């Protein structure tokens, strides 16, 4: 005798649609890169150095900082970043 029980699925049953990354440029030289500081300790020191190196390479840099690393950046900030930058680097999560 078989005794099979059907269980209901406790999960979201969501399979996200696979997307691909945005198109990358050949080079960042003369473009603007946004540095997004997540507001975690030591991240600013790390980003200062990245800024120095990007600037030396001939890449324009804009700095942004989100209010807290524990939450996604506010939508206005994400909009501002996207409207001013050609690429974005977010750091530093540890």
Partner 1 sequence: MFERSWTDGLPVVPPTAERVRKMLGGTSRSADEIVVSVPPNLIECNVEKIAINAVMAGCKPEFLPVVISALETICTEEFNMHGVLATTMSVGPVFVVNGPIARDIGMNSGINVLGHGNRANSTIGRAVQLVINNVGGGGPGGVDRSTLGHMGKQGFCFSENELSSPWPSLAENRGYNSSQNVITAFTGEGPRLVMDQKSRTPESLIRTLAEHLISTVSSSVVVGMDAMLVLSPEHSARFHEAGWSKDRFLEEITGMMMIDTDNIIAGSGGIEEGLPAELKGMSLPKFRPGGLLLAQAGGPAGLFSAIIGGWLNGPSGSEPTSKEILL
Partner 2 sequence: MHDIDDIERRGIPAVMIASTPFEDAAQKQADALGLDIARVFVPHPVQDRTDEEMHEMADLVFNKVLDTLTR
Question: Could you tell which of partner 1, partner 2, none binds residue 80, using a CB distance below 5 to 8 A set by kind?
Answer: none
- Residue 91 lies near partner 2 (rule: CB under 8 A): yes
Rg of the chain over Cα atoms, rounded to whole angstroms, equals 21
The H-or-E segment that residue 1 falls in is none
User: Which residues, 20 to 79, sit near partner 2 by CB under 8 A?
Assistant: 20-28, 33, 36, 41-42, 45-47, 49-50, 53, 57, 66, 72-73, 78
Give me the residue label for tokens 């989100």.
66
Question: Contacting partner 1 (CB under 8 A), which of 42, 67, 79, 87?
Answer: 67
Contact call for residues 73 and 39 (beta carbons, < 8 A): no
Binding-site size, partner 1 (CB under 8 A): 14
Nearer to partner 1, 52 or 94 (CB): 94
Beta carbons within 8 Å of 58's beta carbon, 6+ residues apart: 29, 30
């Amino acid at each position: 005798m078989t005794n099979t029980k059907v269980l209901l699925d406790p999960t979201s049953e969501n399979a996200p649609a696979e997307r691909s990354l945005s198109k990358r440029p050949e080079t960042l030289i003369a473009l603007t890169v946004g540095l997004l500081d997540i507001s975690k300790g030591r991240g600013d020191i790390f980003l200062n150095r990245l800024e120095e190196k990007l600037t030396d390479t001939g890449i324009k840099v804009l700095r942004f900082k989100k209010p807290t690393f524990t939450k996604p950046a506010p939508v206005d900030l994400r909009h501002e970043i996207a409207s001013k930058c050609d690429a974005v680097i977010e750091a530093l999560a540890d």
